[in-house]
Structures are given as C-alpha cells and as structure tokens.
Amino acid sequence: MQTSRTPDGSAGDANYGKIGPGYTNYRQPEPRIAEQILAALGNAKSILNIGAGAGSYEPTDRQVTAVEPSAAMRAQRPAHLSQAIDAYAESLPFEGGQFEAAMGTFTVHQWKGLEAGLKELRRVTRGPILFLTCDPDRVEKFWLNVYAPLVLSTEARRYPSPAKIAEILGGHTEVQSVPIPFACLDGFNEAYYGRPEMLLDPGARQANSAWSFVDETTRETYVENLRTALSNGAWDAQFGHLRRQAECEGSLILIVNQPATHD
C-alpha cells in the first residue's frame, strides 16, 4: 500500500516537519507510564516500535527496531537509542512474524490506513501488540473542552475506538486505563490536568498535534479564553481541585492485543 508523505516524510495526518521541532522539550517518557508498558510487553526481547518518534517508552534492555517516517522526529532520537527506519505502518519492510512484540505510543490515530497498518503490524508480530492511545469517548470530558472545544473534538474524531482496533487485529484485546501523575513528564494535553498554565506555552501546544488542525485565529482565541480564566480565577473556581490531585484517570489507555491461539 502506498500513502502520500510530506517533504519531511511524515506519513500520517500531521506534518511533523512543522510541528515536530522542539517536541522532546515537552514530550519525555513518564516513568509510571513506562512501567505499565514494560509490564504488558512481558518477556518479549525483539520489539518493533511503530511511529517511534523520538523514542519515548522504548525499552533499553531489549532489541528494539524503530520505524518513524518523519525526518524531524528521527533527528531527535537520543544517541543511546538505535536509528529509526524510514518507513510507515501500512507498508512494513519486515518478514512475517519477525518480532516477538510490537508497540506504538500516540501514533495509531494518525495513520491514514488504519486497517492496513494494523494488519501489517500483526503480520510481522507473533506476540502482543500494544498501543498507548486515547479513548475517543472520553477525550472531550477533559476540562480543556470548555476553552478549546475544536481542539478536543478534532482529537476525538482522530482516535480509533478500542473496539475497532480489537476487531481488526483479532485475537484477544485488553484495554487498561493509564493513570496520569500530576507532574507527568510526557506533555500531552491531559498531562497538564492540574497545571493549566502550561497550555499557555506555544511549545507545549505545538507538541500536541491536535492543535495544528485548528486555524491560527481560533487557536489564539482559545489561548486567550484560558489565559483570562486563569487570571480572573474562573478556572480555579471550577477546576482548582485538580491542582491537589496526585493523579488523574482521563482518556489515556493502553490497548494490549494478543494473537489468536490455534489448537
């Protein structure tokens, strides 16, 4: 399967040539989330990381093969990780069953060919397939929806449902809720559930692709809405309790698919 790509090589619906620079300043692996991913990987030693980006959550004690189409994101991978292969989910250059496990973090919602990508991933993976992603039914329940509704409605439309992913992959699928700690190092939107001031930072917003699908005028209006609510106390009056909440369970989930077994 062929898919169109940007000059940067991005093969999904977001242009990381534009929004990718500076990504790692805001998106670092959160240790508590990493522990949950490692536990789900079990004893797998050969792992494919699809849509690997800058390498967040890649185990360092396993043999990891990273696939990332965006040159801007490949360039931000730290030196201790392997170089990522320039390819994309819908057309993987690997033999069938080559990997014991596969993983993808904040990637599956960007694929242009979900079914083709998932089938390719299952073709090359003989064990569990993991996705750190978001439940679209819960995305718009986040407080940001009050101030930036198009950002979250766009995000909700992009995320495939866990049921759709399970249907395509077959086998057995488990969906785990992923608690978000207050000082989460991985700066996706909900990571700032109790630190709303962070979303006034243009770099923090740029590191969340959903903001790039909203026109500049609308984005500026949304930022001013939030800025005003923080300065006049409206945000704290409604959501201030979140500043004292050690963790939050929002839309973040870990999908763990196991292949069908044959007697």
The pLDDT tens digits of the residues spanning 87-132 come to 999 999 999 999 999 999 999 999 999 999 999 999 999 999 999 9
For the chain, what percentages of helix, strand and coil (3-state, to nearest 5) are there? 40, 15, 40
Strands 129-134 and 46-50: unpaired
Q: What is the average pLDDT value for the chain, to the nearest integer?
A: 94
pLDDT score of 85 more than 80? yes
The pLDDT tens digits of the residues spanning 149-178 come to 999 999 999 999 999 999 999 999 999 999
| DSSP tally for the chain: helices H, then strands E | 11, 8
d(CA 73, CA 261): 36
Look at the domain 16-258 and name its fold.
Rossmann fold (3.40.50)
The pLDDT tens digits of the residues spanning 2-47 come to 567 777 767 666 777 777 788 889 999 999 999 999 999 999 999 9
